[in-house]
Amino acid sequence: AQSVTQLGSHVSVSEGALVLLRCNYSSSVPPYLFWYVQYPNQGLQLLLKYTTGATLVKGINGFEAEFKKSETSFHLTKPSAHMSDAAEYFCAVSFSGGYNKLIFGAGTRLAVHP
C-alpha cells in the first residue's frame, strides 16, 4: 500500500529564509510524486511532480523538490520565502503508469513572517 508522511503540520519561516517542507513516502512500486499548494478557500494547485527521469524537479514560484529513492523522500524547498508563499502544502503519491489515484499526506501549513 502507498502512503505519505509529511513531517511537521506547521512550519514558520522568516521572509527571505529557506523553505524546507518534508515528505516521505511508502510505495511497493515506483512512485509518481507530487506537491500541491492550497491557498485559503481555494482549490489544489500543482507545484511540481516527479514521474521519471531527472530526480531534481523544478516547479512554479521558485519551488523545487528532489526525489531520493534511497531515503524514500521528496522534500520541497525554496531558497527564499516570500509572504505570498503562506499556504497549505500537500505531498501526494500515486502508482506509476495507468490509473493514478492520488494519496495525500496530512499537509503542512507554511507561515511566512516579516
Partner 1 sequence: AAGVIQSPRHLIKEKRETATLKCYPIPRHDTVYWYQQGPGQDPQFLISFYEKMQSDKGSIPDRFSAQQFSDYHSELNMSSLELGDSALYFCASQKTMGLVDSNTGELFFGEGSRLTVL
Instruction: Say if residues 28 and 62 touch (Cβ distance below 8 Å).
Output: no
Smallest gap from residue 11 Cβ to partner 1 (A): 16
Quick one: DSSP state of residue 40?
T
Measured at the alpha carbon of residue 86, what is the angle toward residues 45 and 71, in degrees to the nearest 5? Answer: 70
**Could you list the residues that contact partner 1 (CB under 8 A)?**
32, 34, 36, 41-46, 49, 51-52, 90, 94, 96-107
Smallest gap from residue 32 Cβ to partner 1 (A): 4
Smallest gap from residue 67 Cβ to partner 1 (A): 13
- Which of 54, 114 has the CB closer to partner 1? 54
- Which of 77, 96 has the CB closer to partner 1? 96
Which residues have a Cβ under 8 Å from the Cβ of 38 and sit 6 or more positions away?
44, 45, 87, 88, 89, 90, 107
Distance, in Å, from the CA atom of 111 to the CA atom of 92, rounded to the nearest integer, reads 21
Smallest gap from residue 49 Cβ to partner 1 (A): 6
- Which of 9, 80 has the CB closer to partner 1? 9
Which residues have a Cβ under 8 Å from the Cβ of 44 and sit 6 or more positions away?
36, 37, 38, 90
- Which of 12, 14 has the CB closer to partner 1? 12
